[in-house]
């Protein structure tokens, strides 16, 4: 279970606190178990600072606390504070990254069922798509993207599985797999009836909870090999 520790302190030396955090990051390189660290300042009280540190589990947090580098940095942090810092230990019971959930739903529910009407629920009308494999270049607008999806998905009836996802601010990156069969004409090529499996990556940029821009990379060579149009050995 993910574990989060809140360190609440009062200090007028916020810049020194930031430098101290930099020193801890460097000193514990290759040893620390923390996965995310954030420092926030109270807008209503400039000397009120909260540090939030995330760990994979409570046990990993304790292992991190036992590092001599962590203890040394902690003593220096206490010296920068006006009073003894307050600690709050939290077991995370819910961690919902909303944009990442939307991105996963787009692949596993909307695209897998080719529910083109539902695209409006998840994409901006002025959506822009970048895909180096698209011979027409970038796509502009939801309707243009919808028509392109029909041309690419209908001949193959793929089912998508999200293999991994990562979020950073308004960006979400996915690693996905598509499994399907060539059942209709595609770019002048008649249906072969052959099964295929391919993988790919996409990065979505979100705006107001909807996808505003995307960057795709598909394993198109593997698709063409699976349906028998090019020779390509399996690894």
> For residue 93, how far is the Cα from the chain centroid?
20
CB-CB contact of 142 with 118 (8 Å)? no
- Mean of the pLDDT values across residues 164-183? 94
- Mean of the pLDDT values across residues 53-81? 91
CA distance 88 to 66: 18
What pLDDT is recorded for position 234?
60
Separation in Å, CA 119 to CA 20, 22, 189:
47, 43, 27
| Tokens matching residue 48 | 């009120």
CB-CB contact of 138 with 128 (8 Å)? yes
Judged by DSSP in three states, 92 sits in: coil
| Tokens matching residue 109 | 């529910």
Kind and range of the H or E run holding 158: none
187, pLDDT greater than 80: no
pTM for this entry: 0.81
CB-CB contact of 51 with 36 (8 Å)? no
Torsion sign (Cα): 55, 87, 25, 27: negative
For the chain, list the domains and their CATH numbers.
3-91 (3.30.70.100), 98-226 (3.10.450.50)
What pLDDT is recorded for position 139?
95
Torsion sign (Cα): 96, 100, 106, 108: negative
Confidence at 181, pLDDT banded by 50, 70, 90: very high
Tell me the backbone φ, ψ of residue 218, rounded to 5 degrees.
-110, 155
Instruction: Express each pLDDT in 146-157 by its tens digit.
Output: 999 999 899 999
CB-CB contact of 37 with 1 (8 Å)? no
What pLDDT is recorded for position 232?
60
Instruction: Express each pLDDT in 122-161 by its tens digit.
Output: 999 999 999 988 878 899 999 999 999 999 899 999 999 9
What pLDDT is recorded for position 129?
97
94, pLDDT greater than 70: yes
């Amino acid at each position: 279970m993910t574990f989060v520790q809140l360190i609440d302190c009062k200090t007028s030396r916020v810049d020194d606190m930031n430098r101290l955090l930099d020193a801890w990051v460097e000193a514990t390189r290759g040893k620390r178990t923390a996965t995310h660290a954030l420092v926030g300042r109270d807008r209503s009280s400039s000397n009120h600072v909260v540090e939030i540190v995330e760990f994979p589990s409570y046990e990993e947090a304790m292992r991190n606390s036992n590092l001599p580098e962590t203890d040394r940095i902690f003593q220096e942090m206490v010296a920068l504070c006006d009073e003894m810092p307050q600690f709050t230990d939290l077991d995370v019971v819910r961690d919902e990254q909303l944009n990442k959930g939307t991105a996963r739903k787009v692949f596993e529910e909307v695209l897998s069922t080719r529910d083109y009407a539902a695209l409006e629920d998840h994409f901006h009308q002025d959506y822009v798509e970048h895909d180096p494999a698209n011979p027409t270049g970038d796509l502009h607008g939801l309707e243009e993207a919808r028509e392109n999806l029909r041309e690419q998905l209908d001949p193959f009836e793929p089912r998508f599985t999200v293999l991994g996802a990562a979020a950073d601010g308004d960006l979400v990156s996915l690693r996905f797999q598509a499994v399907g069969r060539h059942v209709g004409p595609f770019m002048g090529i008649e249906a072969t009836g052959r099964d295929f499996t391919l993988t790919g990556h996409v990065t979505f940029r979100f705006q107001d909870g909807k996808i505003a821009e995307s960057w795709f990379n598909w394993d198109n060579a593997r698709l063409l090999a699976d349906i028998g149009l090019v020779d390509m050995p399996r690894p």
